[in-house]
Every structure is written in C-alpha cells, then in structure tokens.
C-alpha cells in the first residue's frame, strides 16, 4: 500500500515511515501541508484520483496549511466515495 504521511515533527515522521515500511508498505513522508497538496493536485500527477492509497495527516501543523486545511482541500477536489457518504449519513442518524 502507498501511504502518505503528513507530520511536522521529524522524530514522529521517521517513526511512522519506518514502521510502515517494516510491514511492507511504501511510505511517503511530508513535513508541510503545502507540499502534500501540491503533490496531490499537480497537473504532473499521473494518478487518479490520488497517488496514495492512504493519507495519515497530523491535524495541527504550523505554517501555511494545517492538517485540517489539507483535508478540506482534498474534499473540495475529490468528493467522498458513494459508500462513504452513505456510511456517514447512517452514523449521524
């Protein structure tokens, strides 16, 4: 599985990257939200809809884009899958 990790603290980022790679995943570390968003939505990206199978995002990042803003940006570009929307509606009831 290809997993992007967004974390500003180097020790945590290295720990997560190493742990995921040890169990057979390909980990792609990012220290800023801006860099991750650029990678996800650049016109040079040949992957659709996202280049990763899973995103692990630190919600409280310093800098131009927090983790929450990264998630909002993803939601603006890619709507949730149909099944996910149904599960979200069911959990709210």
| DSSP-assigned letter for residue 50 | -
Sequence-distant (6+) residues with CB within 8 A of 40 are: 50, 51, 52, 74, 77
* Average pLDDT score, the chain: 83
- Location of structure tokens 């979200």: 88
Reported confidence tier of residue 7, pLDDT bands at 50, 70, 90: very high
Query: In 1-93, at which residue ranges do the beta strands (DSSP E only) sit?
Result: 2-6, 26-30, 54-57
For 37-70, write each residue's pLDDT tens digit. 988 887 555 555 678 999 999 999 988 889 999 9
How many residues are given for the chain?
93
Reported confidence tier of residue 83, pLDDT bands at 50, 70, 90: very low
Domains of the chain: 2-92 (3.40.50.2300)
């Amino acid at each position: 599985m290809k997993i992007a990790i967004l974390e500003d603290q180097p020790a945590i980022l290295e720990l997560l990257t190493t742990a995921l790679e040890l169990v057979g995943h390909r980990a792609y570390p990012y220290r800023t939200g801006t860099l991750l968003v650029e990678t996800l939505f650049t016109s040079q990206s040949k992957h659709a809809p996202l280049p990763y199978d899973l995103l692990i995002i630190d919600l409280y990042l310093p800098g131009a884009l927090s983790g929450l803003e990264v998630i909002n940006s993803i939601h603006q570009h890619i709507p949730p899958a149909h099944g996910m929307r149904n599960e979200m509606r069911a959990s709210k009831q």
